[in-house]
Amino acid sequence: MSDQQRQLSLNAFIYPAGHHESAWRHPLTTPERLYDVSYFQEIARTAEAAKLDAIFFADGPALRSDVEHGAAGALEPITLLTAIATATERIGLIATASTTYFEPYNLARLFASLDHISRGRAGWNIVTTGTDVAAANFGLSSHPDHADRYARAREFVDATVKLWDSWEDDAILIDKAAGIYADPSKIHEINYVGRHLRVRGPFNAPRSPQGHPVLVQAGASNEGRAFAGQYAEAIFTAHQRLSDGQAFYADVKQRAVQFGRNPEHVKILPGISPFLGDTEAEARDLEREFNELTSPEYGIAQLEALTGSSVRHLDLDAPVPAGLFGDAGDVTDNKQSRLQVIAGIVERENPTLRGLLHRLAGARGHRVVVGTPVQVADTIEEWFTQGAADGFNVMPPYYPGGLEVFAQKVVPILQERGLFRTEYSGTTLRDHFGLPRPESQYADAPGTVAL
């Protein structure tokens, strides 16, 4: 980093028809292609042509509310990324998966296999999942509470990384003449015993090209930040204001240092949803077009799901009561972190319910930026140079056009300013993010395999 300008990381966060909640209704989108793998392969190739670091998929093991008005249902992201891996060469591939509703051995296999198939481009966005509808799909009457979910998440990640490490890099010998396939002293049982999970191992595949997939995380609660400081190599976060982004950035980097980690190996990537126009007025008109396609009914269901508060009794055109979503200063559990963003909007902007719904329609609480390519590049540069971001999870309001215009208009400005690569310098997601390939924690440990 010393003899070269610090570089932005940019991911394309792929969301069916786009991040704006009525994207599927706009003439610019093709929702009839949402279950067609070629649609996503084309988007990934656009992102790769622009030299982005990665594509990113959200996920949850349940159908989200209101299928009548929202583009619902999606391909499973790990298989989808596998199909995308075969249609691309360099771009990183990040999928979200839940530590609450998977078993470590199964999930470790899916991600390691994606890392092998993509030759080192896999990333796992670790979430604990926050909804009762998911719980009901897994035999639970209610969702485990926040602290239990994070306790399991820590055990899950510990066990999973041990599985990924359990074959040392040089375990496979393939000595045909001697009949020795692998060196059993380099393949280790992990014998993980936690309060929530027990996993013996060893893993049933060799160590993957990146050592292990990049660990990504997205929770901004206190628990989430502690978890991020300890484990995350990239963090996806939501902030509306530079000052909030700076405070979060400083806090998480500091936590990483406390865990003995190099803070440069923790990439902080706020979400940003750009509405772009050749003029600011044109951009505003485009945003208005999308907002006019929203359904208050859908927006209310989304807002209630996000906040856990009932709002359907409120007048759409009256100001939202102050404090309805709590105090913006509080961050106590996972849901609170997004709630804090919403409470902050209510506190600062005093919107009507309709106004708040429009504010959230863009990207569910992530920052929507409306302007010219130069204006969007300026705010990216500002956050990047002012200690609020190492890069961004770019959330185009509509796909594929919203990514194309970002790639064609904004990326070249960032490249001209020396802030973003013009060619990939490496082949793996770790290379793009500037992260080291971790050594196996079992390197030089005595073998323990005895099956």
Residues numbered 23 to 62 that lie near a second copy (CB under 8 A) are 24-27, 31-32, 35-37, 60-62
Distances (CA, A) of 339 to 94, 145, 220, 393: 25, 17, 11, 20
Return the residues of window 7-26 that contact a second copy according to CB under 8 A. 22, 24-26
Shortest distance in whole angstroms from residue 58 CB to a second copy: 12
Beta-strand runs (E) in 161-210 = 172-175, 180-182, 192-193, 198-199
Return the residues of window 152-181 that contact a second copy according to CB under 8 A. 167, 171-172, 174, 176, 179-181
By CB under 8 A, residue 138 contacts a second copy? yes
Nearer to a second copy, 20 or 225 (CB): 20
* Residue window 192-231: x/- pattern of binding to a second copy, with contact defined by CB under 8 A: -----xxxxxxxxxx-------------------------
Total interface residues for a second copy by CB under 8 A: 78
By CB under 8 A, residue 147 contacts a second copy? no
Nearer to a second copy, 384 or 398 (CB): 398
Q: Which one of 42, 49, 103, 247 is in contact with a second copy (CB under 8 A)?
A: 103
Q: At what angle do helices 222-231 and 146-165 cross, to 10 degrees?
A: 10
- If phi > 0 it is left, if psi is from -120 to 50 it is alpha, else beta; for residue 349 that is alpha
**Cα radius of gyration rounded to whole Å, the chain:** 22
Q: Which one of 49, 250, 293, 314 is in contact with a second copy (CB under 8 A)?
A: 293
Place of tokens 């998911």: 134
Paired tokens of 185:
């002293």
By CB under 8 A, residue 69 contacts a second copy? yes
Shortest distance in whole angstroms from residue 131 CB to a second copy: 10
Q: Which one of 45, 102, 282, 332 is in contact with a second copy (CB under 8 A)?
A: 102
Question: What is the Cα–Cα distance from 169 to 186, expressed in whole angstroms?
Answer: 8
Return the residues of window 298-327 that contact a second copy according to CB under 8 A. none
Return the residues of window 327-356 that contact a second copy according to CB under 8 A. none
User: What is residue 406's DSSP assignment?
Assistant: I
In this chain, which stretch among 7-15, 114-122, 263-271, 277-285 interacts with a second copy, using CB under 8 A? Answer: 114-122
Question: What is the Cα–Cα distance from 245 to 239, expressed in whole angstroms?
Answer: 6
Kind of pairing between the strands at 172-175 and 9-14: unpaired
Nearer to a second copy, 209 or 245 (CB): 209
Asked if residue 400 has a cis previous peptide bond (ω within 30° of 0), the answer is: yes
By CB under 8 A, residue 67 contacts a second copy? yes
Q: Which residues pair with 234 in a beta bridge?
A: 216, 267
Shortest distance in whole angstroms from residue 231 CB to a second copy: 21
Question: What is the Cα–Cα distance from 378 to 230, expressed in whole angstroms?
Answer: 32
Paired tokens of 175:
């000595």
In this chain, which stretch among 113-121, 235-243, 313-321, 404-412 interacts with a second copy, using CB under 8 A? Answer: 113-121
